Amino acid sequence: MPVIEVENLQRRYRARTGIRRRAAPEVEAVRGINFEVERGELFGLLGPNGAGKTTTIKMLITLLLPSGGSARILGYDLVRDAQEIRKRVGYVFGGDRGLYERLSALDNLRYFSELYSVPAREQKKRIAELIELVGLTGREGERVEGYSRGMRQRLHIARGLLHRPEVLFLDEPSIGIDPVGARELRLTVARLVEQGTTVLLTTHYMFEADELCNRIAVIADGRIVAQGTPSELKKGVVSGRVVEIEVFGDAEASLKGLRALSGVISVSVEERGQAQLVVVRVDVGAEVTSAILTHLGGLRLGRVATREPTLEDAYVELVSGA
């Protein structure tokens, strides 16, 4: 039986506008999504800002009531059995908030241990284990207000694991932390999955999803636009090769011509400081590099590279098409 079953889950918000003549237009944040997560799986929910990732997680941890559809966590219904779900799931979100600044890490963890009914005789040992796991040994007695963002994030992880949750929801946990911290975090998450914890992770970072997730659902504008393993997503959406050309000057004018070239599937431009990176997706076997360079001939060109499509290419393709 899947640990997480989501069926046509929907959530609408009422947005307030105006002071005197108040209107309350409805915003559909999640528009009927479906997915399942098996025990011990690390499932990624990937999408741009405002796609509905956090709303989905907040419904699954019972902080928001769905506007429609249903979901079951460990067999418990999201609406009817909220209390049972809360006992069994952990929630960690990214950023600076969510901790008692004037208390030490130890006091924060002691308090949440009580809230999650960790037996008194186990608390000390469990907290010490987690402090060690997240690398805060020696700093646990200091007030959180003096912690760096990375330390706070690690404390968040420890808090979320206090009651040994069967399912862990990680909402952009690596946001704002340095590359070393992010790598340690990924290792911690991978270890948890090895130990049997089911994890649902939301992230913006493609490499993170690619490295960690068994399966990924790409969500855009409240809908799941693709679902599968990272390699399935790459294959299913992006075939062929990617040619990247660094351009100095206005590349926009040349894009129409590039798109018309035979063998070109799509063209996009990314700003890279003073330069622009023209990303051209081409069919397998199409020899169009020289034609592309000819089209961009009026511009000063920098680095030209050809590579295999990445998950990021698949993601951009899926999200732009949504």
Partner 1 sequence: MSVPRLIGLGWWLQMKMRSRSAFDGALSIIYPMFFATSVFFIYRQGASSSALVAAAVGASVMGVWSAVATTAATSLQGERRQGTLELLVASPTPLPLIVVPITLSMAAIGLYSLVATLLWGRFAFGIKVSLLHPLAFAVACVVTALSVSVLGFVLAVTAVRYRSAWALGTALELPIWLICGFLVPLSILPHWVRPLSWLIPTTWGVSAVKRAALGGMPWRDIAICLVVAAVYAAIGTLLAGRLVDSARTNATLSLI
Q: CB 151 → partner 1: shortest distance, Å?
A: 16
What distance in Å separates the CA atoms of residue 168 and residue 229, rounded to the nearest whole number?
20
What distance in Å separates the CA atoms of residue 73 and residue 198, rounded to the nearest whole number?
11
Count CB atoms within 10 A of the CB of residue 83: 9
Name which of 34 and 123 has its Cβ closer to partner 1. Answer: 123
The SS3 of residue 31 is strand
Q: CB 207 → partner 1: shortest distance, Å?
A: 27
Q: Which residue has the tokens 């186990």?
A: 122
β 300-307/76-77 pair status: unpaired
Q: CB 2 → partner 1: shortest distance, Å?
A: 22
- Given a contact cutoff of 8 angstroms between Cβ atoms, the answer to whether 155 and 107 are in contact is no
Name which of 117 and 195 has its Cβ closer to partner 1. Answer: 117
Q: CB 127 → partner 1: shortest distance, Å?
A: 13
β 275-282/264-272 pair status: antiparallel
Q: CB 228 → partner 1: shortest distance, Å?
A: 30
Name which of 120 and 180 has its Cβ closer to partner 1. Answer: 120
Two structure tokens written together for 143:
């007030």
Q: Which residue has the tokens 């007695």?
A: 141
Q: CB 164 → partner 1: shortest distance, Å?
A: 14
Name which of 169 and 315 has its Cβ closer to partner 1. Answer: 169
Q: CB 99 → partner 1: shortest distance, Å?
A: 7
Name which of 22 and 102 has its Cβ closer to partner 1. Answer: 102
Give the list of residues 6+ apart from residue 136 with CB closer than 8 angstroms, or none. 105, 151, 154, 155, 158
Name which of 159 and 234 has its Cβ closer to partner 1. Answer: 159
Name which of 144 and 216 has its Cβ closer to partner 1. Answer: 144
Candidates 143, 144, 138, 208; CA nearest to 175 is 208
- Given a contact cutoff of 8 angstroms between Cβ atoms, the answer to whether 11 and 30 are in contact is yes
Two structure tokens written together for 264:
């070109």
Count CB atoms within 10 A of the CB of residue 81: 16
Name which of 19 and 284 has its Cβ closer to partner 1. Answer: 19
Binding footprint of partner 1 on the chain (CB under 8 A): 13-14, 58, 61-65, 83, 86-87, 91, 93, 95, 97-103, 107, 110-112, 114-117, 120, 143, 159
Angle, helix 149-161 to helix 120-133, in steps of 10 degrees: 140
Q: CB 139 → partner 1: shortest distance, Å?
A: 18
